[in-house]
Amino acid sequence: MSSTNRTLSSTPRTTPNSAFSCAWCGRTVSADDGARRHHCPSCLRSQHVLDPADGSPSDCRGRMSPIAVAVRRPGGWVVIHRCVRCDELTSNPTRTDDNQLVLMRLAVRPLAQPPFPLEAFGDL
């Protein structure tokens, strides 16, 4: 498969019931429930196709890497993505079929890799 086809086929769904093939892990993604899918449920990666400010199409088309999860006020989780091309940040709600192991790895990363030495707690 050529890199051009991989880029085009990896476009996350922007309309309900349209399938796409993830360019990063190769999984064919479809949603039978008709809801829009903004990231791959296996690797949680996406593509920069929408401008987060107003929802208009983006010309960037860069790869979006999951960097964190956040908890919304009602209690649902969102995946925070950063575009590797333009550094734009976006958030997309998690879905029940998202890879739970990858979500937990994102959630515990700040605890597993703190920005300070853990030995400092021994002196407290």
pLDDT tens digit string along 40-86?
A: 999 999 888 777 777 778 788 888 999 999 998 888 899 999 999 99
Q: Which structural domain range is residue 21 located in?
A: 3-111
124 within some domain: no
For 14-29, the pLDDT digits (tens) are 444 567 788 788 888 8
48 within some domain: yes
10 within some domain: yes
121 within some domain: no
Other CB atoms within 10 Å distance of the CB of residue 110: 10
Taking residues 90-119, what's their average pLDDT? 89
What is the pTM for the complete model shown?
0.72
98 within some domain: yes
23 within some domain: yes
Domain count, the chain: 1
55 within some domain: yes
